[in-house]
A and B are shown apart, each in its own frame.
Chain A
Amino acid sequence: MSFEFYTAGWQLFTLPVLAYMLLGTVIGIIIGALPGLTAMMAVSVLVPLTYTLSPTAGIIMLLGVYCGANYGGSISATLVNIPGTPSAVMTTMDGYPLGQKGKAGLAIGTATVASGLGGIFSVVTMAMFAPLIANIALKFTSLEIFAIALFGVTIMGYISPGSVLKGLISGVFGLLIGCIGFDPTTAVPRFTFGEQNLLSGVQFVAAMIGLFGLAEILLASEKIKDLQTRPELFKMQNPLECLKYLRTLWGNLLRSSVIGVIVGAVPGTGGTIAAIVGYAVQKKVSKNPEGMGKGAVEGIAAPEAANNACCGGALTTLLSLGIPGDAVTAILIGAFVLHGLTPGPMLFESNPDLVSAIFIGMFLIQMLIIALGLNFAQYFAKLLLVPRPILNTIILALCVVGTYGVQNSIFDIGTMIVFAVLGYVMAKASIPRAPIVLALILGPVMEENLRRWLSLAEGHVLESLAGAFTTNPIAMAILAITALTLVLPLFQKSGRLNEGMAEHIVGGKK
């Protein structure tokens, strides 16, 4: 990729685009800081509202929300010991104890700088690798795309926090919902019960807003009570104190960022896993492992760098393969589609300036996070004191308007409400909701490509598969990895990562 490619996006950065980028990042940090409001929810509610913006402004704003929210979660994690977003779960481990020592400024400063640097690292990796991967992906046939989607679906049961079984229940349910609508190869309607609104399947954005937007409000309105806080701790002195520690953190930050990018790039995994792995690895290599969990700066830097680096990783997969790297990027697909764009390798050919603008925008967003975080974290923290009924009302209105706006459809509002009830029940049964999102996106992709490949094989499936070892080595490698992912856990007593994760999350939520 030439230098011109990377700079081409600059011309799209008009004043309004910059303003929306700032707005998105601020909204993201606010949403992230408020417990219960997640990046997933914010992005799903805001996707339809970007319809009236230019594609660049809309997408960059949503990226701001995405990255901002991933960072913002650390604020409430530190101050009230509640991860503002799930990906901040590991930040509570050391952030909160440090805050209790009266060093909330140091904790949040560290989280800010680590988030920003992790993010910047991921943007640079993305800018380097996404065009290369996209170039290879342009030659992907149905078999490769099927293999990647299958891998994403397989991994999703294992990576969801807590029970593998519950993760799989959620994922399989999502796959079933994904079957609704026209059959991809024969145009026969399935499971529509004569409802013409279901011919093209369940409207994805409506389902997401229900699962993550409205459902969260239902959950939150059950327990309206003001947070138990000690306002004196909200005074953040010397966030810049963290710069003194920076010298000792470089290796940590680099390692955690690499972990974040890789975890993010794998379809099906997201910021929460990245943070957990980042923290776990840091604990292994730490010179002072006993100190972690008691307010160690390194214990804040590792998960925060990892969860923000995850954004760039997930976006790399989305842009270069058209397959979401995590649940939020799955929702971002909706934003692309709304503007008539299809994320994937063709985007590099058809809209290179937009791709370039995304790289530049992501970079600027990370800078913004550092600037906003270091200067205004204490004001964001004050939002924790805004009464929840007011917030919930605003979000409720956005959920309904946003759902209707996607395709001017009242039916979709009904879809949204059905999924909200579903999301509520799932949350009550502690079944993770993220696998549904991924399955809903990956399921149809998987089916369509598998069916097409089978039809091209014309009945000679085994011969074609054997032939694929030479003609489609990438697909076969991915299928082999998928098979290993399925088989290996059978030989272990229990998924090590999973067990550790569940323990951390249960501990973190206390």
Chain B
Amino acid sequence: MERMSGKVAVCGMVLAAVALGAAGCFLGTKEEAKPPAQPIVFLIPAGPGGGNDLTVRALIPGMRQALGQELIAENKPAGKGAVAAAEIMNGRPEDNKLYFNSQTVLLMPYGGMPDVKLERFQPVAQVVEDMGAIIVRQDAPYDTLPEFIAAAKRRGGKIRVAHNGVGSLWHLAAIRFSQAAGVDFKYCAYTSGGRQMLGALVDGEVEVCVISPSESKPFIEAKKVKVLAVMSDRRHTVVPNVPTCREVGLDTVFNVWRGVFTTAGVSEERLNALDAAVRQAVATEEFQAFARNNGLPVKFRGHEEFKRIVYEQREMYAKLFGEIDK
């Protein structure tokens, strides 16, 4: 009898191991299966758990309902997002692939990915409008932006600022700010992103970060850092008491949009349907609650307006980079 139960136990364990593997295979490959209705693949150029990933996953239920079609999120962080971008650019419009990104998509050509061409993307709708903010350590000896700028100028020498890689979003935001405020910055790259930049701010390696209040939310709530001003024409939901730069007399804006794209050449009819689906998904109570919890400022814009903004910004970046190179 004991021998028998031994065998059973061994079989059970082997089965458990196989079942785990099978479960893994199933869950892992489910996303690639193609049922007749041909689901839309929603590419996320980042790994799971980040802001882009969570936003897409929050959008999907609402869009699924609006389109009556299956949507599948697929994380493609490979090559710092270049692989996902190439999949959209080199695809056909009828592949039915969506893509979610911020202005990073405009910046990729400046950051070592010259092949990324905006013309190959069709903007579908904007979902989020975030912004840069001037953030310093909680114990910094200034509480307002003018005080900070005055202190920086008085000190002479360069103020150390963190950014998330040459030519990346927060690098540009910092450049914008430094030009407007007339403060000289020493730029330091923290390529892992926001967490690492803010960590460097907390341990004193840099003196200021220009980054979004949404990304800094845990640090702001833990009272490790404070926001001096936001670079936008309106205040930010995470720090409603913090003034905009304009309110304190500095004319600079750095809005950060995040939105949905597809491959260029998609039919007008399809584009309108997708645009409407994003609008409907953004309006759902579930998405609004998600945005509130994550400190994400929601701003919907349809494809025409979104496209206009995207191309306007591209001009601005071209000018900025032209100035940096000089």
Mask, A364-405, CB within 8 Å of B = 1, is 000000000000101110110010000000100110011011
- The answer to whether B80 and A199 touch across the interface, beta carbons within 8 angstroms, is yes
Contact partner of B17 (CB less than 8 A), chosen from A140, A198, A379, A394, is A394
Contact partner of A407 (CB less than 8 A), chosen from B47, B189, B203, is B47
- The answer to whether B79 and A200 touch across the interface, beta carbons within 8 angstroms, is yes
- The answer to whether B48 and A382 touch across the interface, beta carbons within 8 angstroms, is no
Q: A142-B205, A349-B218 are in contact. Are A52 and B79 (CB under 8 A)?
A: no
Q: How far is the CA of A438 from the CA of B69 in the complex (A)?
A: 45
Mask, B206-232, CB within 8 Å of A = 1, is 000000000000100010100000000
Task: Tell me which residues from 127 to 178 in chain B have a Cβ below 8 Å from any Cβ of chain A.
Answer: 160, 165-168
- The answer to whether B29 and A340 touch across the interface, beta carbons within 8 angstroms, is no
Q: How far is the CA of A454 from the CA of B193 in the complex (A)?
A: 20
Which of B19-27, B276-284, B297-305, B309-317 sits within the interface?
B19-27
- The answer to whether B21 and A349 touch across the interface, beta carbons within 8 angstroms, is no
- The answer to whether B186 and A458 touch across the interface, beta carbons within 8 angstroms, is yes
Q: A394-B18, A401-B25, A452-B188 are in contact. Are A199 and B79 (CB under 8 A)?
A: yes
Q: How far is the CA of A140 from the CA of B199 in the complex (A)?
A: 9
- Chain B residues with CB under 8 A of A48: 24, 28
Q: How far is the CA of A189 from the CA of B115 in the complex (A)?
A: 13
A51 near B: Cβ within 8 Å? yes
Q: How far is the CA of A498 from the CA of B241 in the complex (A)?
A: 62
Task: Tell me which residues from 338 to 370 in chain A have a Cβ below 8 Å from any Cβ of chain B.
Answer: 338-342, 346, 349-350
- The answer to whether B21 and A337 touch across the interface, beta carbons within 8 angstroms, is no
A159 nearest CB across to chain B (Å): 28
A502 near B: Cβ within 8 Å? no
Q: A48-B28, A407-B76 are in contact. Are A346 and B205 (CB under 8 A)?
A: no
- Chain B residues with CB under 8 A of A448: 191
- Chain A residues with CB under 8 A of B16: 23, 26-27
- Chain A residues with CB under 8 A of B112: 182, 187-189, 199
B289 near A: Cβ within 8 Å? no
- The answer to whether B166 and A186 touch across the interface, beta carbons within 8 angstroms, is yes
Most buried by B among A26, A140, A187, A378: A187
Contact partner of B48 (CB less than 8 A), chosen from A51, A182, A342, A409, is A51
Which of B6-14, B93-101, B261-269, B318-326 sits within the interface?
B6-14
B46 nearest CB across to chain A (Å): 9
Contact partner of A52 (CB less than 8 A), chosen from B28, B160, B200, B202, is B28
- Chain A residues with CB under 8 A of B186: 456, 458
- Chain A residues with CB under 8 A of B82: 196, 199
Q: How far is the CA of A184 from the CA of B193 in the complex (A)?
A: 12
- The answer to whether B203 and A139 touch across the interface, beta carbons within 8 angstroms, is yes
A7 near B: Cβ within 8 Å? no
B232 nearest CB across to chain A (Å): 26
Q: How far is the CA of A450 from the CA of B50 in the complex (A)?
A: 27
- Chain A residues with CB under 8 A of B18: 394
- The answer to whether B20 and A23 touch across the interface, beta carbons within 8 angstroms, is yes
Contact partner of B78 (CB less than 8 A), chosen from A27, A52, A338, A412, is A412
